[in-house]
């Protein structure tokens, strides 16, 4: 009564939700689905020498100031990791529709900086990865491997940086966790993040996985389009 559930899309009171998604059925249906090539085209804009996933898929097109933006803020800053799990289940379903049943040796969330992890209490990419792991075909439904990648150094917020500055900011920011190279050499892994903007973070996260001999696919909740 005191704190009713409110749809983050239209601000109306929710009678029920789709799992943890804070959206009414009408707003959920209107979320802008990304095309099957949307994320791949974004990654293609990286410099030719930049490491990159072999395939990249986004569930939604990012709408700055719109419902997807509000969902992202609820996930990152609202203390609601269960929201990420439900989003991840939708991402996993989209993966199955787009790519069939690839067999992944590991589902790897992009790691969060330690300071941000302590501040939020959870990594939103790991929450999404948990949902993906439940739905991704060809996977054993084991939990995502959160220690596969680690932060090698701290980075500044990417929000206000230019495309080239974003790449410089995250270059060398990620490294393999202990023993990870032996687990993924010659095998396919799935990298998971929340939003694909310029591709700089996914590229930097791919670098150590590719150097270890893994084949890398990537999925995100949403992709920015020009």
For 62-107, the DSSP string reads --TTSHHHHHHHHHHHSS-HHHHHHHHHHHHHHHHHHH-----SEE
H or E element at residue 108 = strand 106-109
pLDDT in tens, 46-84: 999 999 999 999 999 998 888 999 999 889 888 888 889
Spatial separation of the C-alpha atoms in residues 127 and 75, rounded to whole Å: 9
Smallest Cα–Cα separation from 220: which of 65, 87, 66?
87
pLDDT in tens, 9-38: 888 888 765 556 788 888 888 899 999 999
Spatial separation of the C-alpha atoms in residues 211 and 198, rounded to whole Å: 22
What pTM does this model have? Answer: 0.89
126, 212 in Cβ contact below 8 A?
no
pLDDT in tens, 168-205: 666 667 889 888 888 899 999 999 999 999 999 999 99
pLDDT at residue 34 in the model: 95
pLDDT at residue 172 in the model: 65
The structural domains of the chain, ordered by start, are: 1-30 (no CATH), 32-223 (3.40.50)
65, 226 in Cβ contact below 8 A?
no
Asked if pLDDT for residue 154 goes beyond 70, the answer is no
């Amino acid at each position: 009564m005191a704190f009713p559930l409110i749809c983050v899309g239209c601000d109306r009171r929710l009678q029920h939700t789709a799992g943890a998604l804070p959206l009414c059925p009408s707003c959920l249906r209107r979320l802008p689905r990304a095309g099957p090539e949307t994320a791949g085209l974004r990654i293609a804009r990286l410099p030719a020498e930049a490491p990159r996933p072999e395939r990249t898929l986004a569930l939604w097109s990012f709408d700055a100031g719109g419902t997807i933006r509000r969902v992202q803020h609820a996930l990152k800053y609202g203390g609601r990791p269960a929201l990420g799990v439900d989003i991840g289940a939708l991402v996993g379903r989209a993966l199955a529709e787009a790519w069939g049943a690839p067999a992944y040796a590991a589902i790897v969330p992009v790691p969060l900086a330690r300071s941000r992890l302590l501040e939020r209490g959870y990594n939103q990419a790991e929450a999404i990865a948990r949902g993906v792991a439940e739905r991704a075909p060809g996977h054993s439904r084991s939990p995502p491997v959160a220690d596969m990648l680690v932060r090698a150094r701290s980075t500044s917020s990417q929000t206000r940086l230019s495309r080239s500055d974003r790449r410089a900011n995250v270059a060398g920011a990620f490294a393999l966790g202990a023993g990870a190279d032996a687990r993924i050499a010659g095998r396919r892994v799935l990298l998971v993040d929340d939003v694909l903007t310029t591709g700089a973070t996914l590229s930097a996260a791919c670098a150590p996985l590719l150097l270890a001999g893994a084949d890398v696919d990537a999925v995100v909740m949403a992709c920015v389009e020009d």
